[in-house]
Chains A and B, each alone.
Chain A
Amino acid sequence: MKRRVIFFSIILFFFLTSSAFCLSFHIAPLSFKVKAEPGEVVNRTFTLSLKEGEGETYFRSFIEDWWRSEDQKNTFYRPAGTLKSSCGLWCTVNPVEEAVSGGETLKVRLTISVPPNARPGGYWTALTVNELPSPVKPEGVAISFLASVSIGILVEVPSVKREARIVGMKADEDFVWVKVKNLGNTLLRVTGKVNFLAPGEDKALFTSELISSASLPGEADPLVGGPVNPLEFRAPLPPDLSSGTYLVQAILDTDLEYYIGAEKILIIKGKN
């Protein structure tokens, strides 16, 4: 009887500590930025390493276009080649599907073939690696989770023009929103901060960082519901900010050789 109890205890311990309750893996790199001439072929490698102890897991790799909603809260994915500035059709991946066991590494080879007639500018898409569903279903009312990783691919064909301008600022109860228009022909990564000054003062009372270092599309895409330009970026209102009138300064880094900025008198309804 004692042996049976010990046996079941060991089985239960193994069940409770097995990695069936989560999936852990290491990924690298997290972006591909390539400068290539028309007609050039470029190869890169993406790796996904399953942690030791993970069970055999199937992954599928493919290329898809992406863009974000104007408020940056949603990301949309569509087949490669959907967007006007997509380089999705220039890209192939190998292998497309492969099983990986714990402690092993999936190596996905990305080949980018730039067309000979490619015009100057930035072209983008994403490499996505999806975990494929397991046939084992959970009991009860449950959600089974899968993992997916999307890595940005940006191909810049010389010559590239980078230019951006702040075209609007507003505030609501939670955020300051800064609207930025991309006037160039490639993606720009936007980071920055927002300063809050009392009118007439030159020293900031508070500073808030822009939440998302998101990218902007270049020329507007004709796809209905597609990527928009300009895009809005948000910085949270500081928790200690009192309601009142402030001079709000936005200072942004948009991959240019200089910062861009704007300031506006805003009435803030703060938390206090």
Chain B
Amino acid sequence: MKKLTMFLLVAILVLGASVIAGAVVVTLPDESQTTTFTATVAEQADVTVPATVTFTVNDVTTTTAGTGAVSATSIVLADTKTLKIYLQGDAASFTPPAAGGTTWDVGDVSWAAGAWTNGTGASGTLSNVAYNEVATSAANAPSTSSTITFTLAAKATADPAVKAGDHALTATWKFESL
């Protein structure tokens, strides 16, 4: 019985000593202990693009305007990085109402630099071989947005007549963080 009691006493002493060795002894009161909280925030953004831009063409021999709103909000990027916005047409020309009919080329669509919130706009012409710059967000900007005015070029009267109906083109907005 005596041996068991001695054994238990030694075990408690060793256990207590190891717990004490792993802890920090402070004299109360104490304000020296600190814990660092780290939040790892991924780069991210909310993006909104218009589904379509429609040109109401009442006179094919003059230019026609159409508008669409683009925005990137809740932008979180590493320090000084920016978000770039580009646009590229998916075909060399619009698809006319009837196959082989006269229509607009992709390069007949252009846009002005416009006024961008927290960003710099760039004027450009739509292309199907490269993404052309539309805007770059300001460094460390939390958001950037604009309503872009697109211009559809006039068709010369000497061309075969443009037929009334649906002329369609698809274009892709590119948001880049490269």
Residues in chain A within 8 A of chain B (CB atoms): 20-31, 51, 66, 68-69, 72-77, 126, 130-131, 133, 137-152, 189, 191, 209, 211-215, 236, 253
In the complex, chain B residues whose CB is within 8 Å of the CB of A72: 133
Is B136 at the interface (CB under 8 A from chain A)? yes
Instruction: Mark B47-75 against chain A: 1 for CB-CB distance below 8 A, else 0.
Output: 11111111111000000101011000010
The answer on a CB contact under 8 Å between B54 and A31 is no
In the complex, chain A residues whose CB is within 8 Å of the CB of B173: 145-148
In the complex, chain A residues whose CB is within 8 Å of the CB of B169: 142-144
Q: Could you say which of A30, A68, A139 contacts B44, with CB atoms under 8 Å apart?
A: A30
The answer on a CB contact under 8 Å between B43 and A74 is no
In the complex, chain B residues whose CB is within 8 Å of the CB of A26: 44-47, 74
Known contacts: A146-B170, A209-B139, A212-B82. The answer to whether A28 contacts B44 by CB under 8 A is yes
In the complex, chain B residues whose CB is within 8 Å of the CB of A126: 178
CB distance from B171 to the nearest CB of A (A): 5
The answer on a CB contact under 8 Å between A146 and B172 is yes
Majority DSSP secondary structure for residues of B touching A = strand
The answer on a CB contact under 8 Å between A144 and B168 is yes
Q: Could you say which of B48, B132, B150, B170 contacts A133, with CB atoms under 8 Å apart?
A: B170
Is B130 at the interface (CB under 8 A from chain A)? yes
Residues in chain B within 8 A of chain A (CB atoms): 42-57, 64, 66, 68-69, 74, 77-78, 80-84, 86, 90, 94, 104, 109, 120, 122, 124, 130-133, 136, 138-139, 150, 152, 166-178
The answer on a CB contact under 8 Å between A213 and B44 is no
Q: Which of A20, A133, A148, A191 has the most CB of B within 10 A?
A: A148
Taking A28-B44, A29-B44, A144-B168 as known contacts, 13 extra A-B pairs with beta carbons closer than 8 A to each other, sorted by chain A number, are A27-B45, A27-B47, A30-B177, A142-B167, A143-B169, A145-B51, A145-B172, A147-B173, A149-B174, A150-B178, A211-B136, A213-B82, A215-B178
In the complex, chain B residues whose CB is within 8 Å of the CB of A151: 177-178
A149 nearest in chain B by CB position? B175
A140 nearest in chain B by CB position? B54
Complex Cα gap A149–B152 (Å): 26
Which 6 A/B pairs are nearest by Cβ-Cβ distance? A28-B44, A30-B177, A30-B43, A152-B178, A29-B42, A191-B80
In the complex, chain B residues whose CB is within 8 Å of the CB of A139: 54, 166
The answer on a CB contact under 8 Å between B86 and A75 is yes
Complex Cα gap A150–B172 (Å): 12
The answer on a CB contact under 8 Å between A74 and B54 is no
Known contacts: A142-B55, A144-B52, A147-B49. The answer to whether A76 contacts B130 by CB under 8 A is yes
CB distance from A240 to the nearest CB of B (A): 17
Complex Cα gap A151–B44 (Å): 11
In the complex, chain A residues whose CB is within 8 Å of the CB of B170: 133, 143-146
Complex Cα gap A27–B124 (Å): 26
CB distance from B111 to the nearest CB of A (A): 11
